[in-house]
Amino acid sequence: MIFEKSFIDELESLVKKKDLKAIERYIKKPKREKTKKSFYRSALMVSAHRPKHLNKLDSLKADIAIINLEDGVSKELKPIALRLASLFLSSVKSSDSLLVVRVNPLEEGGKEEIEYLNGFKPDAIRISKVRTPKDVEKALKLIDKEIDLHLSIETKEAFLNLESLKIDKRVKIYYLGILDLLSDLKISQEILKLNNPTIDYILSRFLVASKACEVTPFSFVYQDYENLEEFKKWCIYEKNLGFSAKGAISPKQVDIINQTFSLSLDIIEQAKYIKKRFEEMLKKGVSGFADERYGFIDEPIYKNALNILKNPTI
C-alpha cells in the first residue's frame, strides 16, 4: 500500500466533497523511475477516482496497471480523477506493474489531461477513440518524449488502419475495445461468443496486424467479471489463436490471465535446449539436423525457441 488507511479515508472524503484544491495540496514532484518490463500478459483497469483502488498500485499482480480517466468516471469527477492519478503517480516509489494512464479522447479533454500528466511521468499514456495516423501524430506531439503511447482500438477507422497507426517506436501496445468496435460497425454485441466466425476474424486480424508492425496486442476486456469459468475459456481460446496478453477488470481475472498466458517450465527448458543444440551444430557448419529428443531442428525451430526465451508468454 502507498498510503496509510487514515490518509485514504481523508482522500475519499475529499472526493465526495469534490474538493479539488485540497487534493492538489498533496501532489508533489515524482521520484519514481520508469518501470522496465520485458513482456506482458495482463492489464488491469484501475478507477482513477477511487483512492482505495489507486492505493494498491505498488502491489498489483498485473503486468500493466491502467489508471482510467475515461469510461466509468463521470464528467464531474474527471478533474478529481486526474489529480488523484497524479498524486499516486508522484507517490509510488516502485512498481512491478507498468503504470499507464488512460485519458479521454483528445478533443474531449484528453489534450489537457496529457499536458497535465507529462509532469508526473507515467510509463505510458493510452489514447481512446483513435481513428487515423493523424490522431496518433497529434498525441505524440503532446506526450513527453520519455513517455510511451498505447492505443485503444475501438473505432472502425482504427481497425482498418492498424498497420499505419504505428508511426513511431513509442507506439508500443494496442488494446482491442471490442464492444465499442462492434457498436461502431453497427454489429450486435450478441455475437461476442466463442467460435463465432466474425469475432474470430476480428481477433485474428487484430493479432496479426499488430504483430506485423511490432506492437503488442491485448485482447478485449471480458465484462462479466464474476463468470470466471467462461473467462478462462476465453483466455485459453485466445491463447490458441496466438494471443499472449489480455485486459482485465478484476484481480481474479488477472490471476487467470497470468496463469493461462505463462508457458510451462517444460516448454521454456525445451527452448533452452534447442537454442543450445542449434548453436553448437551451427559452429560445425550444420543448420538442420535430426535430434533424438525433439525431432528435426532447423533455423525456423531455432527462431521460435529464441522468441519463447525472449517473451515467455507466446
Quote the mean pLDDT of the chain.
Answer: 94
Q: Which CATH class is domain 5-262?
A: alpha beta
Over range 28-37, report the average pLDDT. 82
- Of residues 95 and 253, more confidence is placed in 253
Q: Which of 156-165, 216-225, 241-250, 285-294 has the lowest mean pLDDT?
A: 285-294
Instruction: Give the C-alpha separation, 222 to 17, whole Å.
Output: 33
The string of pLDDT tens digits covering residues 37-88 is 778 999 999 999 999 999 999 999 999 999 999 988 999 999 999 999 999 9
**C-alpha distances in Å from residue 251, one per residue of 40, 44, 100:** 16, 7, 17
Above 90 in pLDDT, residue 260? yes
Above 80 in pLDDT, residue 314? no
Confidence of residue 253 (pLDDT cuts 50, 70, 90): very high
Task: For residue 312, count other CB atoms closer than 10 A to its CB.
Answer: 19
In the chain, which segments carry CATH 3.20.20.60? 5-262
- Percent of the chain exceeding pLDDT 90 equals 86
Task: For residue 158, count other CB atoms closer than 10 A to its CB.
Answer: 24
Give the per-residue pLDDT at 182.
98
Do 63 and 254 touch, CB atoms closer than 8 A? Answer: no
Over range 19-27, report the average pLDDT. 95
Over range 262-282, report the average pLDDT. 86
| Neighbour-count burial of 107, counting CB atoms closer than 10 A to its CB (0-12 exposed, 13-18 middle, 19+ buried) | exposed
Q: Residue 62: which of 314, 253, 263, 262 has the closest Cα? A: 253
Give the per-residue pLDDT at 171.
98
Over range 12-32, report the average pLDDT. 92
Confidence of residue 265 (pLDDT cuts 50, 70, 90): low
The model's pTM: 0.88
Do 91 and 28 touch, CB atoms closer than 8 A? Answer: yes
